Structure 1
Amino acid sequence: MTPLLPLLANALALLPLAPLTVAKHVVCSWRPGIATPDKYGFNRFCSATSYTTTTHDKTTAEFKCKHLFEGNTVKPATWNVLGDGILEFASPCGMGGWFAEGEHAWCPDSSFAMCTDETHGDECWYMDKRDDCEWPTKFTVDTLPTSVELWYRRK
């Protein structure tokens, strides 16, 4: 046996005892201004509808829409999953990203806009292709938007 095998076996045996690390989620904070995304060269990707689920004492929501290029259903956002009242936007182009799915998706040099009300630019936040972020304000079941608008821009 090579000297590395016992070391590897010991390391694997201790793996279940290692603490789980959670990625730090940041609050959405970037916007080029308060105009609507189309004024900054963004194109509409989809309007993601909120689907709520209540189990025991907790209500959560998933925002889903059809992929603009592929036609499959994607989930760009969730609510009340990462923490109470948090609306979290998933990474568009990171591992398992909602925009990067399929053969026609294209992520190089892309950025994205997320809006809770597309008619008011101050209800939109922006992120780069591999980012994710949580909405700056928390929502309750009563204040949760029924849909969120997703936009993309290829540089």
Structure 2
Amino acid sequence: MLSAMKSAASDCPVYRITIPGLLRAKGRPRFGNGRTFTDAKTVQAEKHIQRHAIEQIGKPCLTGPLQVSLTIRIAPPPSWSRKKTADALAGRILPTSRPDIDNQMKTAADALNGIAWKDDAQIVDAALSRRYGAESLTVIEVRQI
């Protein structure tokens, strides 16, 4: 059940989580009845991430400073020509549309609080990447440093 790989650079395990589908950006906070709450679509997206994380790595709930790598793959739209799709998959076209990658990271970071780590404030190093791929998915790798 625990999907941890040993890193060549250190003895700390690397926890790898693969989330199928497009990663939703964190929604803006909503206000009502004198309180602040997260919108339903963001809550649903966070639960999707949490379910896959628990299935793949359990709940290591790491402590201390962490290094996180977030790699987002986006399937090219079916309406694109074969040439444009091939260019996208080869990395000659990069995804520059919304949502912003930092807001996507925020969704993943908040979803993994209490699962991969105690709090996302522990993340001191982060690498973010978004490219086209054969299918839409997100890979999150976490390592204690």
Q: Same fold (TM over 0.5)?
A: no
Name the structure where strand makes up a greater proportion of residues.
1
Higher gyration radius (CA): 1
* TM-score, with structure 2 as normaliser: 0.32
* Normalised TM-score (structure 1): 0.31
Q: Which has the higher helix share?
A: 2
User: Taking CA–CA contacts closer than 8 Å with sequence separation of 6 or more, which of the two structures ends up with the larger relative contact order?
Assistant: 2
